[in-house]
Structure 1
């Protein structure tokens, strides 16, 4: 990255904050501002997987993603473990602090980090290895200033076991992850990802059995694919959401359709959610343009209701 480009981008550090001002301060007629206590604070992020091809090809890195996020007025970025330059090894402090410093220069938060784990395998040693990975990345998250670490379930029901048996493994593993998260001040947070828990009721049952203030849900409406009304399923999960993912498509009984941003905005506003809404593109095409358009569409719906 050329120094001249970085110097120019530093001058844009205040852009996200200024762009967010109507949302954060509730600008109304005249010069009056709504009291902060009356506002619903929602801020916007982008998930690194949107740039999967660009990261893999070397066309982009986290610093490029941060500059893009600042340029379009986002407040934060989600950094996934497998795009760190050191991966599969843990990043050293120099890498962590360089990202943290750049985020500050651009007026961004690092809201989220994420790993891919498999807790539905019958291999106890493999589960223990992934649990240690999560513990390690909870510590990385704390160092980098992230409040949430995204974790998964895993994909397949192992032969010879019932789903209820495997759910018991999940609950115990998540309890341990929540305990580790409490030690470093980072939420261990499950993304419903169309892998093992397919319905809102299944996800809620796991959340309630884990029963920890340091465990929660990243609500991914695109992961609710076995119902004809994913919005109704998402509304069941909304009270549990610590973070929202919005993608450009949802699935009605496995049939892909464009996401209705008006319905998403209404649901999130109705719930009184305070926190991050993150956008992720999984489509072909220019991910920067797709993310920018998703942000504009959702924000327009949310702020005009």
Structure 2
């Protein structure tokens, strides 16, 4: 091998160290990304009634997602018949196999936990559940698993005391996430942390690269939810786009143009997941939401 060829190969090997993945993807004009990396998913809760009644299965949901051109699906834990116990591996691997056949990723899983319960034994039980389902997430190939704060209804403790419990629980969950290679994502859910500053404070106090944010645009009930969304956008590892926002708690149709603009301006490169909470045919609603968001995003 002559010196010139050796130098070319060495420069290609070392390029990621000097320029990073983003640099390798950039064009020669202005550093713009050659390929947009935003991808689209659907959350299982959109089909809550159908999944609980047996009218729909995860397989049906995946068929629908592939049919409308989504890239992935979110398989929420409590639609598995065994929940809160974990499913057997065969059930998980069959789902994974079908997703592969349809060209889909299983990008996300989620559980329902309560880390603001004053009973430490109850918090431990939920912590153990999170740990078990992080293993499920890893087996499915999901990169992130949703957790909640839980609801706060206890008068014998200050909010600061409860936040301290949260931080410790989330630190433990992040450690479990690191062990399984799955990020733990806090979904802001209008339950205990109601504003962007509180949410950011908790993320910073946990201080782990295995703990992040699933940004739920429909769960910020401030006077200007879009301002709150903009504050949270730099911390978002995953987005939930819903058909409504709630300025001052008032149900209002989402402005897809504004949401798409925030996502684009942030340079976000991950998954946008759609979730419908409205009455009506969820398949039609999700299809419309996807088309609306993509149309606005691609104009920018």
Q: With structure 2 as the length reference, what TM-score do the two structures score?
A: 0.89
Q: Is the 8 A contact 2:75 2:108 kept in 1?
A: yes
Alpha-carbon separation, structure 1, partners of 2:160 and 2:82: 37
- Please state whether the residue corresponding to 1:189 is helix, strand or coil: strand
1:262 and 1:37 mapped to 2: Cα distance?
A: 21
Instruction: Give the corresponding residue for 1:161.
Output: 157
Q: For 1:173, what is the secondary structure of its paired residue?
A: helix
1:120 is displaced (CA, Å) by 0.2
Is 1:93 aligned with 2:89?
Answer: yes
Which residue of 2 is the match for residue 79 of structure 1? 75
Is the CA contact (8 Å cut-off) linking 1:40 and 1:272 kept in structure 2? no
SS in 2 for 1:253: helix
1:289 aligns with 2:289: no
How far apart are 1:200 and its partner, in Å? Answer: 0.2
RMSD: 1.3
Q: Tell which structure's C-alpha radius of gyration is larger.
A: 2
- How many residues are matched? 271
2:132 aligns to what? 136
Unaligned runs of 5+ in 1: 1-34
Q: What residue number does 2:244 align with?
A: 249
Equivalence for 1:65: 61
Q: Which runs of 4+ in 1 moved over 6 A?
A: none
Aligned mates of 1:36, 1:237 — CA distance in 2? 24
CA–CA separation in structure 2 for the residues paired with 1:51 and 1:99: 17
* Aligned residue runs from structure 1 range 271-290, under 5 A: 271-290=266-285
Q: 2:66, 2:99 → 1: CA distance?
A: 9
Q: Deviations for 1:273-301, whole angstroms, at most 9, x for unmatched residues?
A: 01000000000000000000000000000
TM-score, normalisation: structure 1:
0.87
Q: Please say which of residues 154-163 and 270-279 is displaced more in the overlay.
A: 154-163
Q: Secondary structure at the match of 2:246?
A: strand
Q: What residue is the counterpart of 2:101 in the other structure?
A: 105
Q: Tell me by how many angstroms 1:36 deviates.
A: 9.1
The aligned runs of 1:215-254 (5 Å cut-off) are: 215-225=211-221, 227-254=222-249
